């Protein structure tokens, strides 16, 4: 039987066209070789190049729908340099995006794909709005109570998915995603029913009282939502990069078997990360309702799930990276809005551009893993 | 048949291969010997198309050729069984083989052919593997068997085996050697990369020795003996002798009283095993693999809870149901059998891998703190003390360390907390002579400092060399105990007896 194998193999070999002995200098398809390691500078270089490629693709796509690169540059410069008002608008937009990205990144660090951010935002905001509508607690601590309630709401909404994942191994992508729809319908139930705005009758909650809003910073229209976001970024950065929790958490995602073997509380760490993610998710909703819109609207959460994943991914799950990417994302969102108004491009185009960046960065992973040989 | 001429390869600044020559002929079993990091694996990775050489040529059947990847090498009839297995954990054994070899365009037919071939081959080899079980659920030894099956089924004409017997029991290893000879007689060329000198001398037709990226010797097995071959490999003499304990205590430090542990499939792999270990002794646990070694190790580390019986530590009491964290606090540390699964996180840095034990002990700050500077100075100290080589930067990934140095890093970490009880599970597996001797020296030093060392090993030579007392693990029980020096044949008998 072994003889048979050998014979068969011989037959295959004789059919094959062997490369001639003549030396070719280049080949069209490069030979791939797994890298032994990839130094920091190479990471940075490849990452930068992938972002540049993304920019070029984005400009090409916009050119294709009829936006001249010159017009595009003009729009961007209006946004950035026409005065403090647009800057204020960008920063106001940045705050919730930052918190959203953070919520997703924290869960990613524990190998937990939290795609239930919108659900956590909704339930968190419902909890906070309950405090606001029913004037729970004295005025002086109302805002703190609302924040705590929002975190609690977020935690309650992520907990079932976390429990199912850790206890029964059920994929969290499914559970967190489905919980979004439950939360959304709960929101509609409230807004079309008991919590309908008593003044206008529209499906959004009554406006929050002044004590229930995040105070103004006194510069443009900015509220304390931005300092809150920055504080959260720094807090999470410290926890992930400078504490034992973060240090052990890195083992939970890279080799949980080994972490267990050396006695690290893998389960506890996973729970901590999941709870943190849920709480920050709840705060995202709070930051929008209490810092931007001053009421609970019907669609305050929409798009944040995708943006959160995007920001966490592009920011390499690093809090500082998340902060920077959130700022760029805010610019992109506002740019999209003005393009929508002045050039009638659909909002889908903005999402398309976001997707282009994701693909470019995801593709960069390939160049970090493999080294290519073009020469023969 | 395969000829490698003057091949060089470097990674970053490191010259892994320096103008190396190698060849293998039809019907020949050619052993490739050398220390960890001598360049054996790199050379073989060049031969099987994984790495592109910086310079030099490859000839198959007297034709110059270049490989653009493993598939080109496979088309030339070169198949490799890697040291670290390349299996898809969530696929079944059959699917893993089919990923590699698809004889028919129809999936169903292909499946039938491969299944029947696999069954016949496995039978010839004396392997018993359920083709439907998931690759990830198999033990290391079984995964290795699947790897060998894979290459054999694809009908490679030149087979490279990278330390194939390192994870097999003696019996399975002997079976494999017989099969290798059978294959060679049928016209296959075999390259055997190994650390085991005995294997090279007894089963090979030619031996090539490599040292630091160069081919240093090519000898015929009839012309050398074990000692001189060792000298060729290492470049110096390393003689291992037994050194028994001088300060053995009579009071048992840890006692196992009839513990039963279930394996993944719910079988009582460890069944009412009882033994005790005193401080200042190395207690060797001999036995053929699969007789409860893994379950015993897991129970000692607190990763699996015994369903009956007790584990007691003198001065602490009953610790049977304690968790892994508690075990560590009790002064137990472990050198696990699979150093890349339980010992190290390959993606994490050397610094992080070393510091995790100290961080768990709270030496690097509270839960809200991680004192990186202290960690850095500690790891630098440990790297020097435990002679971990190949660390250019403490922030490099642990997976870049060679087997011996990775093991040294594990030992450095595990010894950092001054453990009272040390579990060493096949600590020198896959290591070369020099690194293995270094590991043994560390274990002896710990014993001489008063630790109780539990040495689980399937390598009887290691057990005989190291142990002050020997227990034989047979069918989940300690079936016999011997005081050193014990005779090889007595232990061997106890290992296989079915009484």
Instruction: Confirm whether B218 is domain-assigned.
Output: yes
Tokens, residue B393: 């930067």
Considering the domain architecture, whether residues A44 and A132 belong to the same structural domain is answered as no
Considering the domain architecture, whether residues A340 and A361 belong to the same structural domain is answered as no
Report residue A37's pLDDT band, with 50, 70 and 90 as the boundaries: low
* Burial classification of residue A71, based on how many CB atoms lie within 10 Å of its CB (0-12 exposed, 13-18 middle, 19 or more buried): middle
pLDDT digits (tens, 9 = 90+) for A313-337: 888 899 999 999 999 889 888 888 8
The verdict on a CB contact (< 8 Å) between B183 and A27 is no
The verdict on a CB contact (< 8 Å) between A376 and B365 is no
How large is the greatest C-alpha to C-alpha distance in chain B, in angstroms?
A: 71
CA distance B9 to B308: 55
Tokens, residue A250: 């890195």
Considering the domain architecture, whether residues B323 and B447 belong to the same structural domain is answered as yes
**Chain B interface, best mutation among A7, A37, A43, A261, by max B CB count within 10 A:** A261
- Rounded to the nearest angstrom, the minimum Cα separation between B495 and chain A is 28
* Nearest Cβ partner for A261 among B63, B324, B365: B324
Considering the domain architecture, whether residues A333 and A363 belong to the same structural domain is answered as no
* pLDDT for the residue A166: 93
A135 vs B: CB within 8 A: no
Domain stop point among B188, B203, B234: B234
* pLDDT for the residue A13: 38
SS (H, E, C) A40-97: HHHHHHHHHHHHHHHHHHHHHHHHHCCCCHHHHHHHHHHHHHCCHHHHHHHHHHHHHH
**Mean pLDDT lowest among A26-40, A48-62, B469-483:** A26-40
Instruction: Confirm whether B366 is domain-assigned.
Output: no
Q: Which DSSP symbol is given to B397?
A: B
Share of chain A above pLDDT 90, in %: 53
Q: Is the pLDDT confidence value at B402 over 80? A: no
pLDDT digits (tens, 9 = 90+) for B62-100: 888 888 888 888 888 888 888 777 888 888 888 888 887
Considering the domain architecture, whether residues B53 and B190 belong to the same structural domain is answered as yes
Considering the domain architecture, whether residues A188 and A60 belong to the same structural domain is answered as no
Report residue A22's pLDDT band, with 50, 70 and 90 as the boundaries: very low
Q: How far apart are the first and last CA of chain B?
A: 50
Considering the domain architecture, whether residues B10 and B140 belong to the same structural domain is answered as yes
Q: Is the pLDDT confidence value at A12 over 60? A: no
Q: Is the pLDDT confidence value at B498 over 70? A: no
Q: Is the pLDDT confidence value at A20 over 60? A: no
Q: Is the pLDDT confidence value at A289 over 50? A: yes
Q: How far apart are the first and last CA of chain A?
A: 38
Number of domains composing chain B: 2
pTM > 0.90 = no
* pLDDT for the residue B366: 83
**Mean pLDDT lowest among A207-211, B230-234, B357-361:** B230-234
* pLDDT for the residue A5: 40
Instruction: Confirm whether B304 is domain-assigned.
Output: yes
Per the CB < 8 A criterion, the answer to whether A320 and A237 are in contact is yes
pLDDT digits (tens, 9 = 90+) for B191-222: 998 877 888 888 899 999 988 888 888 888 88
B492 vs A: CB within 8 A: no
Q: Is the pLDDT confidence value at A21 over 60? A: no
Q: Is the pLDDT confidence value at A278 over 90? A: yes
CA distance A122 to A100: 13
Residues of A in contact with B367 (CB under 8 A): 243-245
* pLDDT for the residue B499: 52
Instruction: Confirm whether B341 is domain-assigned.
Output: no
Which of A318-327, A336-345, B117-126 has maximum average pLDDT?
A318-327
pLDDT digits (tens, 9 = 90+) for A48-62: 899 899 999 999 998
Tokens, residue B353: 């891998």
Paired sense of beta strands B63-65 and B214-219, if any: unpaired
B184 vs A: CB within 8 A: no
B156 vs A: CB within 8 A: yes
Q: Which range marks the domain in which residue B207 is found? A: 2-234
- The mean pLDDT of A276-284, rounded to a whole number, is 97
Mean pLDDT taken over chain A: 87
Considering the domain architecture, whether residues A340 and A351 belong to the same structural domain is answered as no
Angle, in degrees to the nearest 10, between helices A244-254 and A225-242: 70
The Cβ-side half-sphere exposure at A350, using a 13 Å CA radius, reads 22
Question: Angle A207-A208-A212 (CA atoms, 0-180°, nearest 5)?
Answer: 170
Residues of A in contact with B339 (CB under 8 A): none
Instruction: Confirm whether B61 is domain-assigned.
Output: yes
CA distance B180 to A157: 59
Number of domains composing chain A: 2
Q: Is the pLDDT confidence value at B171 over 80? A: no
pLDDT digits (tens, 9 = 90+) for B243-272: 887 778 888 899 999 999 998 778 888 989
Quick one: which of A178, A117, A106, A99 has its CA closest to A153?
Answer: A117
Q: Is the pLDDT confidence value at B335 over 70? A: yes
Tokens, residue B317: 């009491």
Whichever domain contains B264, its CATH number is 3.40.50.300
Q: Please provide residue B8's backbone torsions phi and psi, each rounded to the nearest 5 degrees.
A: -120, 150
Q: Is the pLDDT confidence value at A9 over 50? A: no
Instruction: Confirm whether B362 is domain-assigned.
Output: no
Whichever domain contains A331, its CATH number is 1.10.3470.10
Q: Which range marks the domain in which residue A307 is found? A: 87-344
Which of A147-161, B287-301, B378-392 has maximum average pLDDT?
A147-161
Considering the domain architecture, whether residues B302 and B193 belong to the same structural domain is answered as no
Paired sense of beta strands B206-211 and B14-24, if any: unpaired
CA distance B260 to B262: 7
CA distance A319 to B376: 24
Considering the domain architecture, whether residues A288 and A370 belong to the same structural domain is answered as no
Domain stop point among B208, B234, B260: B234
* pLDDT for the residue B101: 79
Q: Is the pLDDT confidence value at A4 over 70? A: no
CB-CB neighbours of A57 under 10 Å: 16
Q: Is the pLDDT confidence value at A18 over 60? A: no
Instruction: Confirm whether A334 is domain-assigned.
Output: yes
């Amino acid at each position: 039987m072994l003889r048979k194998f050998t014979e068969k193999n011989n037959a295959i070999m004789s059919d094959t066209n062997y490369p001639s002995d003549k030396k070719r200098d280049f080949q069209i398809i490069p030979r791939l070789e797994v890298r032994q390691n990839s130094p920091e500078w190479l990471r940075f270089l490849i990452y930068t190049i992938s972002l540049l490629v993304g920019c070029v693709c984005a400009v090409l796509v916009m050119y294709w729908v009829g936006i001249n690169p010159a017009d595009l540059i003009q729009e961007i410069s209006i946004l950035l340099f026409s005065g403090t008002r647009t800057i204020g608008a960008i920063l106001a937009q940045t705050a919730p995006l930052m918190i959203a990205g953070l919520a997703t990144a924290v869960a990613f660090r524990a190998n937990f794909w939290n795609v239930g951010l919108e659900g956590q935002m909704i339930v968190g905001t419902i909890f906070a709005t309950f405090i606001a509508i029913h004037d729970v607690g004295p005025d002086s601590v109302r805002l703190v109570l609302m924040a705590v309630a929002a975190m609690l709401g977020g935690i309650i909404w992520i907990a079932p998915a976390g429990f199912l994942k850790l206890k029964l191994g059920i994929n969290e992508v499914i559970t967190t995603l489905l919980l979004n729809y439950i939360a959304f319908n709960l929101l509609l139930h409230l807004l079309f029913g008991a919590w309908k705005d008593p003044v206008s009758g529209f499906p959004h909650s009554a406006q929050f009282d002044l004590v229930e809003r995040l105070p103004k910073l006194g510069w443009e229209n900015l509220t304390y939502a931005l300092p809150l976001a920055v504080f959260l970024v720094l807090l999470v950065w410290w926890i992930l990069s400078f504490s034992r929790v973060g240090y052990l958490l890195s083992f939970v995602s890279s080799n949980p078997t080994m972490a267990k073997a050396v006695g690290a509380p893998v389960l506890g760490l996973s729970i901590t990360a999941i709870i943190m993610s849920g709480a920050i998710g709840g705060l995202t909703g709070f930051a929008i309702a209490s810092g931007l819109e001053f009421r609970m609207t019907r669609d305050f959460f929409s798009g944040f799930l995708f943006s959160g994943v995007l920001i966490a991914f592009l920011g390499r799950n690093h809090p500082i990276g998340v902060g920077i990417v959130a700022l760029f994302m805010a610019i992109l969102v506002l740019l999209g809005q003005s393009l929508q108004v002045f050039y009638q491009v659909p909002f889908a185009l903005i999402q398309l551009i976001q997707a282009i960046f994701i693909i470019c960065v995801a593709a960069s992973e390939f160049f970090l893993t493999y080294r290519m040989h073009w020469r023969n | 048949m395969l000829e490698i001429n003057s091949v060089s390869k470097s990674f970053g600044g490191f010259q892994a291969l320096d103008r190396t020559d190698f060849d293998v002929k039809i019907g020949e079993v050619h052993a490739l010997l050398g220390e960890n990091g001598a360049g054996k694996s790199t050379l073989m990775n060049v031969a099987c198309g994984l790495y592109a050489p910086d310079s030099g040529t490859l000839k198959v059947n007297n034709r110059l050729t270049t490989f653009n990847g493993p598939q080109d090498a496979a088309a030339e009839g070169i198949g490799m069984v890697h040291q670290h297995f390349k299996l898809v954990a969530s696929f079944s054994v059959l699917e893993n083989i089919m990923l590699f070899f698809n004889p028919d365009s129809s999936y169903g037919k292909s499946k039938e052919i491969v299944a029947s071939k696999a069954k016949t081959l496995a039978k010839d080899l004396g392997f018993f593997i359920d083709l439907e079980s998931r690759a990830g659920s198999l033990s290391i030894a079984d995964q290795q068997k699947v790897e060998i099956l894979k290459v054999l089924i694809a009908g490679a004409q030149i087979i490279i085996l990278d330390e194939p017997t390192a994870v097999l029991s003696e019996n399975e290893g002997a079976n494999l050697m017989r099969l290798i000879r059978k294959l060679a007689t049928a016209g296959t060329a075999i390259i055997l990369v190994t650390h085991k000198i005995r294997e090279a001398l007894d089963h090979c037709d030619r031996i090539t020795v490599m040292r630091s990226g160069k081919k240093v010797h090519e000898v015929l097995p009839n012309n050398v003996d074990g000692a001189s071959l060792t000298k060729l490999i290492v470049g110096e003499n390393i003689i291992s002798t037994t050194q028994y304990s001088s300060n053995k205590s009579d009071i048992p430090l840890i006692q196992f009283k009839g513990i039963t542990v279930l394996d993944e499939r719910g079988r009582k792999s460890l069944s009412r095993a009882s033994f005790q270990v005193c401080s200042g002794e190395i207690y060797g646990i001999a036995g053929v693999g699969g007789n409860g070694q893994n379950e015993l190790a897991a129970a000692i580390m607190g990763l699996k809870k015994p369903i009956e019986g007790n584990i007691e530590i003198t001065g602490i009491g009953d610790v049977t149901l304690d968790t892994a964290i508690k075990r560590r606090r009790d002064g137990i540390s472990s050198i696990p059998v699979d150093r890349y699964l339980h010992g190290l996180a390959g993606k994490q840095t050397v610094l992080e891998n070393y510091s995790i034990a100290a961080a768990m002990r709270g030496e690097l700050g509270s839960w809200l703190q991680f004192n990186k500077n202290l960690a850095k100075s500690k790891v630098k100290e440990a790297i020097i003390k435990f002679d971990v080589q190949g660390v250019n930067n403490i922030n490099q990934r642990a997976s870049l360390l060679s087997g011996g140095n990775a093991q040294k890093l594990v030992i450095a970490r595990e010894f950092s907390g001054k453990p009272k009880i040390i579990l060493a599970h096949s600590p020198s597996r896959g290591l070369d002579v020099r690194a293995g001797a270094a590991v043994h020296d560390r274990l002896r030093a710990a014993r001489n400092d008063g630790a109780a060392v539990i040495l689980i090993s399937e390598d009887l030579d290691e057990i005989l060399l190291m142990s002050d007392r020997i227990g034989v693990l047979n069918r989940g029980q300690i079936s016999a105990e011997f005081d050193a020096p014990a005779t090889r044949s007595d232990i061997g008998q106890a290992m296989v007896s079915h009484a």
